[in-house]
Structure 1
Amino acid sequence: MSSAAKPAAILALALAMQACSDGYPAEDLPPLSPFDMSNLQRLTALNQLGATAHRDRQWSFEQVSGCRLELQYKRKGVRAVKQAIELERSIRLDVAFDEPDGTFDVHVMAGDEPNAPPVATLLESAKWTHAVQAELLLQLLARDCEPA
């Protein structure tokens, strides 16, 4: 390497190192655990899941007046369906495969009995992992909500 090229190489290396001095970019940060999120962050994550969970439906969630969760889903070409549930610490959620629809559904169950029927569907997803993640977010929302 020539004597004139050495300072240029050192300068380039110094600039490259300075560009990396802040560490990893924010988009490379590991995802925040749902256990470490606030309820507002959990609700945001739930809405992100709901927007992409099903090819023909979009789900959205809003926590209003304490522990009341309002949700709606929109089907292509059909009016939005709205419902509300009370998030109680004792809420029992279940993920089940809906064979005719080919989705994994998150249900609120009527009770603790093994054969208790579902009383509401909170999300339908093409992916099991999304349904299980939504179930956890909903359980944590219920655990940490403050009644009105």
Structure 2
Amino acid sequence: MDTTLLSALVRRNRLARFAPRPGAGQAPPLPRWRLVFALLALGATTACMEGYPTQDVAAVDPLYLTQDQRLAQLNALGNDAHPERKWSYAMRPGCVLRIDFDGKAGPRPPFDIPLRGAVVKVATDKADQTFDVEVKPVNPGAPHQVTVLEAQDWALAVGMSRVLRVMEKGCTDEGIVQWQPLATHLALSDF
């Protein structure tokens, strides 16, 4: 081999140590598993967005409502709870809740339920695929347990049960106490 060629190769190898490497100055490539993970995470977050409401629904606290406002809330829930069934409510003297129900078979006769001391619960009706709000009066002559709402949405059923419990607490021996919102009873001097 020629010495000039040999010296040129040696010189080239010595200079090669100082030459920039290919891809130098660029970000190192991501390993494949990181890229796959990033794509899966992106897909999972977009898939979880389906079915969720785009706006929050304002929750009304029945503790801050009057009895008339609570009754209006019951009627709104009874109207929206199921597309094929409509429930409407009215308060009678003695803290008795009158319930009108219109279903697939048409309207039924209204019935009354005494609320004072009643137990309210939410039950799942798997056969009908609804969440039922049931009221069990404590009076011996009253019906054992009555369904006062059948909702397709669990949150509506729980909201109805809460409003009913607060309505029951608003009843007195003389009839119905017209509770005012808490803020109207308190003054800054009370603190």
After TM superposition, the score normalised by the length of structure 2 is: 0.55
Cα distance in 2 for partners of 1:79, 1:43 equals 20
- Secondary structure at the counterpart of residue 91 of structure 2: strand
The counterpart of 1:59, out of the listed 81, 87, 97, is 87
1:120 maps to what in 2? 146
Preserved contact between residue 82 and residue 152 of structure 2 (Cα < 8 Å): yes
Preserved contact between residue 113 and residue 137 of structure 2 (Cα < 8 Å): no
1:137 matched to 2:163: yes
Deviation sequence 1:54-106 (CA, Å, 0-9, x none): 12110000001130110111013423342101111x21111011011100000
- Secondary structure at the counterpart of residue 107 of structure 2: coil
- Secondary structure at the counterpart of residue 66 of structure 1: coil
Q: How does 1:1-148 map to 2 (within 5 A)?
A: 31-88=59-116, 90-109=117-136, 119-146=145-172, 147-148=174-175
Q: Which has the higher contact order (CA 8 A, sep 6+)?
A: 1
Q: Mind listing any 5+ residue stretches in structure 2 that lack a counterpart?
A: 1-57, 139-143, 176-191
- Counterpart amino acid of 1:97? T
Cα distance in 2 for partners of 1:79, 1:33 equals 31
Amino-acid identity (%) = 32
| RMSD between aligned residues | 2.1
Q: Which has the higher strand share?
A: 1
Q: Mind listing any 5+ residue stretches in structure 1 that lack a counterpart?
A: 1-29, 112-117
Query: How far 1:139 moved relative to its partner?
Result: 0.5
Cα distance in 2 for partners of 1:110, 1:142 equals 11
> Structure 1 residues 125, 32: CA separation in 2 closer, same or farther (over 3 Å shift)?
closer
Query: How far 1:31 moved relative to its partner?
Result: 4.7
Preserved contact between residue 133 and residue 160 of structure 2 (Cα < 8 Å): yes
After TM superposition, the score normalised by the length of structure 1 is: 0.69
- Secondary structure at the counterpart of residue 134 of structure 1: helix
